[in-house]
Structure 1
Amino acid sequence: MTMSYFRTPPTLLTGRGSVGQIGKEARKLGATKVLIVTDKVIVQAGLLPYVSKPLEAEGILYDVLDEVVPEPPFENLEQMAEKIQDNHYDLFIGIGGGSVLDAAKVLSIMITNPVNIRELVGTDKVAHPGIPTILVPTTAGTGSEVTCNAIFTDQRDMVKKGIVSPYLLPAVAIVDAELTFTVPPSVTAATGMDALVHAIESYTSVRANQITDGIALQAIKLISRSLRQAVFNPHDVKAREEMALGSLMAGMSFGNAGVGAVHALAYPLGGKFKVPHGVANAMLLVYVMKYNVVAHLPKFAEIAKAMGERVEGMSVREAAERAIVAMGTLARDLGIPTSLKDVGVTSADLPAMAQEASQIDRLLNNNPRWLTVKEIEQIYRDALGE
């Protein structure tokens, strides 16, 4: 067995009602003045009291910053950091989807690392720990509450960029499925497919190990059997709970084994065409799986089994290809766009997109099969329907 690291938050709280413990967890961290980082959607949905009331019960003072925007650009982070710089908070609580959680993580390090945010882009560029954080997801998808990653939009270059540092891990992650019950079907579908991408890409990553493999396969199993129910019957409590747990486990897996070509190819879609992260990943997954499958047939066969496909009596290759068929069926069932034409991409856009994606070595180096610019462009062409 080769040496590997496995990083996860020191404390994970899961299960319905677990968010009610957030005041006590904040008290354990010595918090006296808390900043709740969120967005206006969470406030309007009435989810803020899930966090604020337990803080009040513990006598902990808090302010609310609800200015995170979807797929936040660096400028959004800079504006918020300037506003809170001198307020001397000793704990940040992020409650929301992946954009909010990523923003909370990076705001915490911006306070203690007073440099231009672009200087933090990349891996291990953060010099000092940030303000402690507690993260509470309200969607079952990004897994941001348990990863060292944060993704933002660079409007100058029109591409998504990542900040990766162990200092982004929260002190506490709380995953309470009850907070996902009001998520609309389209968001449930997109974020759920995003979680499935995390699980599949980390399972097939060249950095995968026995720990991440077990977690990723269980995530695939949970998400595959519960995502349709969560989308089409939002009040199915069991499906919502399995999605929340599956997303958490997928995050733990990809936070350590990494993700690959799906994410790399999705970045230009998000940056230039404003395609939401989960949708971009879901649109490209089948096409990248078709390219990658020959690089690790046994693992793709295991993915098919985890998705509930009947592969008894099949060869390893036949079973592996069943995973691709099953994924395509799931995406169609959920109404995920199947062609890049659906989001405004044209054939003329593909060479530049391929060139951009080819530069994202941090992700492409994890992919089980090597990709050239020409091969990336061909995957885009397949996804465009050409």
Structure 2
Amino acid sequence: MAGPTRHPRGRGGSTPCSGGDPDTAGPTDLPTPSYVPTRVVFGRGAATQLAALVRDRLGAAAVPRRPLVLTGRGGPAKPWLDQVVDQCRRLGAAVVVANSRPNPTGESIQAVLELARRAGADGVVAIGGGSVLDTGKTVALLLSGTTSVAHALRHGVPAPRRVPLVAVPTTAGSGAEVTRTATVWDDRAGRKHALDHPQLFPDLAVVDPVLTTSAPTSVWASAGLDALSQAVESSWAVAADEESLRFSLPAVRMAADGLHAVLTAPADVTARSLLSRASLTAGLAIARTRTTIPHALSYPMTARLGLAHGHACALTLGAVLCFNAEVGERDCHDPRGVAHTLAVVRAVVRHLRAPTPAAAARRVAELVRRLGLPAPHQLAQLRRIDPTSLADDVLSYDRFTNNPRHMSRAQLTALLTALTTPPARTP
């Protein structure tokens, strides 16, 4: 079986492709930024080469003989799943487990971890959306020792990861296949937590756009909005740098164009490829930068109100874009100053193919509408919640302070109030 086309890793100077069919050459090694150690193979058909790619990346001595293969739920809508799992069985006596739930909790991840330990798993291959990838990453990190998920969240991880980790995303949104974080939700407290560790970077990410075609509209729409939000936020984040911007800004255009393309032709693999490339490229950016206010706002909307994560991010993305476009000397939080922040905001607006921040915000809102998702003022559960209570929750997340313009509690409350107020009717 022919392997992927090899390209240099491109450390420190690489840029993602941002135009045309992004995988006409078939599975290809993509350049990654210097801060991401994961080998990335992208392109239609890449998942059918999974076993060979794992052997090539790890070497014969490190290939798992009993890999834990974590998948999303199966079904007739995933005709590729058996073929990809069979690739894992070519590595050894695979232990195949279906992930128990979206938005994984410490308890749900702990159950998978204990199963993997009992089975003697010596590696993890995670095949699924962000929830599956986050579960698989956490299990791989903790598999070799006795540390529980709860202990790791409270006290950190005492030992390095000792087993290989492979990520195969089946949705275009989270970018988890190339980041060092794993999200863990707390249903009882209504909170989002995260493990953040350099060894949560997978050894190998195999990104095959064909695998995303089975996602229902509600899933791919929210996931695509998450990719768009991550691309925009990682561009203006205080933690962004020149290298991350070479990934985040092209991802803004790819995500917006990819969402439009999939809306126009949902079954078209070229459209899916563009959106998958956007998600991956945004993931490579947030691996450095993390996210900002729209993500901080999304966490309680997901944990407390049950909104899909990407949808929740997009609900405030336009408002925060307009807010950041009015940054001044007195409230600029980025040490590079107002000029830098305004230049990045202008670049984001251009990549959204809009003339002004207000027009860019309208384009995001129109995308949400075309995707069949409600606007903030149409969400009864959001209108019922006290904006000041929601604001207090949002302020407790560190992503809030990664924004380039300081937002006060009063400004945050006003933003939430404005978003949930129905627009006045034109006579």
Instruction: Give TM-score, length-normalised by structure 1.
Output: 0.90
Number of the residue aligned with 1:115: 147
Distance 2:210 2:37 in 1: 21
Distance 1:201-1:59 versus aligned 2 partners, 3 A rule: closer
Distance 1:112-1:7 versus aligned 2 partners, 3 A rule: farther
The question of whether the paired residues in 2 share the 8 Å contact of 1:142 and 1:247 is answered with yes
Residue type of the partner of 2:79? Answer: G
The question of whether the paired residues in 2 share the 8 Å contact of 1:283 and 1:340 is answered with no
Distance 1:348 1:141 in 2: 27
Distance 2:309 2:318 in 1: 16
Residue type of the partner of 1:352? Answer: S
Counterpart check, 1:335 vs 2:372: yes
Runs of 4+ more than 6 Å apart: none
Q: 1:358 aligns with which of 376, 383, 395?
A: 395
Number of the residue aligned with 2:238: 206
SS at match of 1:371: coil
Number of the residue aligned with 1:218: 250
The question of whether the paired residues in 1 share the 8 Å contact of 2:147 and 2:157 is answered with no
Residue type of the partner of 2:103? Answer: E
Distance 1:193-1:343 versus aligned 2 partners, 3 A rule: farther
Number of the residue aligned with 1:382: 418
Counterpart check, 1:125 vs 2:156: yes
The question of whether the paired residues in 1 share the 8 Å contact of 2:258 and 2:278 is answered with no
Question: What CA deviation, in whole Å up to 9, does each residue of 1:324-344 have, x standing for no partner?
Answer: 232222222222321155151
Residue type of the partner of 2:293? Answer: A
Number of the residue aligned with 1:23: 51
Counterpart check, 1:301 vs 2:301: no
CA shift at 1:70, angstroms? 0.8
CA shift at 1:292, angstroms? 2.0
Q: Aligned residues: percent identity? A: 27
The question of whether the paired residues in 1 share the 8 Å contact of 2:169 and 2:207 is answered with yes
Counterpart check, 1:325 vs 2:325: no
Question: What CA deviation, in whole Å up to 9, does each residue of 1:340-386 have, x standing for no partner?
Answer: 5515123543222211111112x122111112332222222122127
Number of the residue aligned with 1:7: 35
CA shift at 1:44, angstroms? 6.2
Distance 2:75 2:131 in 1: 12
Distance 2:416 2:87 in 1: 48
Number of the residue aligned with 2:204: 172
Distance 1:119 1:74 in 2: 10
Q: 1:149 aligns with which of 162, 181, 186?
A: 181
Residues 85-94 or 33-42, more deviating: 33-42
Matches within 5 A, 1:263-302: 263-295=295-327, 296-302=341-347
Question: What CA deviation, in whole Å up to 9, does each residue of 1:173-225 have, x standing for no partner?
Answer: 01110111122222221111110000000000011111111111111111222
The question of whether the paired residues in 2 share the 8 Å contact of 1:270 and 1:277 is answered with yes
The question of whether the paired residues in 2 share the 8 Å contact of 1:347 and 1:381 is answered with no
The question of whether the paired residues in 2 share the 8 Å contact of 1:297 and 1:320 is answered with no
CA shift at 1:119, angstroms? 3.5
Counterpart check, 1:344 vs 2:374: no
RMSD of the alignment, in Å?
2.1
The question of whether the paired residues in 2 share the 8 Å contact of 1:188 and 1:230 is answered with no
The question of whether the paired residues in 1 share the 8 Å contact of 2:72 and 2:129 is answered with no
Distance 1:59-1:162 versus aligned 2 partners, 3 A rule: closer
Residue type of the partner of 2:344? Answer: K
Number of the residue aligned with 1:193: 225
The question of whether the paired residues in 2 share the 8 Å contact of 1:135 and 1:170 is answered with yes
The question of whether the paired residues in 2 share the 8 Å contact of 1:6 and 1:256 is answered with no
Distance 1:371 1:113 in 2: 42
Matches within 5 A, 1:241-252: 241-252=273-284
Distance 2:276 2:83 in 1: 17
The question of whether the paired residues in 2 share the 8 Å contact of 1:38 and 1:68 is answered with no
The question of whether the paired residues in 1 share the 8 Å contact of 2:180 and 2:198 is answered with yes
Distance 2:278 2:198 in 1: 22
Question: What CA deviation, in whole Å up to 9, does each residue of 1:77-96 have, x standing for no partner?
Answer: 12222222232212100011
Distance 2:414 2:91 in 1: 58
Residue type of the partner of 2:342? Answer: L
Distance 2:148 2:405 in 1: 35
Residue type of the partner of 1:51? Answer: V
The question of whether the paired residues in 1 share the 8 Å contact of 2:124 and 2:165 is answered with yes
Q: Structure 2: 5+ residue runs without aligned partners?
A: 1-32, 328-340, 423-427
The question of whether the paired residues in 2 share the 8 Å contact of 1:292 and 1:368 is answered with yes
SS at match of 1:94: strand
Question: What CA deviation, in whole Å up to 9, does each residue of 1:222-278 have, x standing for no partner?
Answer: 122221221342122221111111110000001111100111111111111121211
CA shift at 1:307, angstroms? 2.0
Number of the residue aligned with 1:314: none
The question of whether the paired residues in 1 share the 8 Å contact of 2:128 and 2:170 is answered with yes
Counterpart check, 1:373 vs 2:395: no
Distance 2:85 2:379 in 1: 41
Distance 2:84 2:361 in 1: 40
Q: Counting helix residues as a fraction of each chain, which structure ranks higher?
A: 1
The question of whether the paired residues in 2 share the 8 Å contact of 1:40 and 1:66 is answered with yes
Number of the residue aligned with 2:124: 92
Number of the residue aligned with 1:316: none
Residues 295-304 or 234-243, more deviating: 295-304
Residues 173-182 or 65-74, more deviating: 65-74
Instruction: Give TM-score, length-normalised by structure 2.
Output: 0.81
How many residues are matched?
371
Q: Structure 1: 5+ residue runs without aligned partners?
A: 312-318
Q: 2:267 aligns with which of 218, 229, 235?
A: 235
Distance 1:233 1:358 in 2: 40
SS at match of 2:195: strand
The question of whether the paired residues in 2 share the 8 Å contact of 1:188 and 1:231 is answered with no
Number of the residue aligned with 1:101: 133
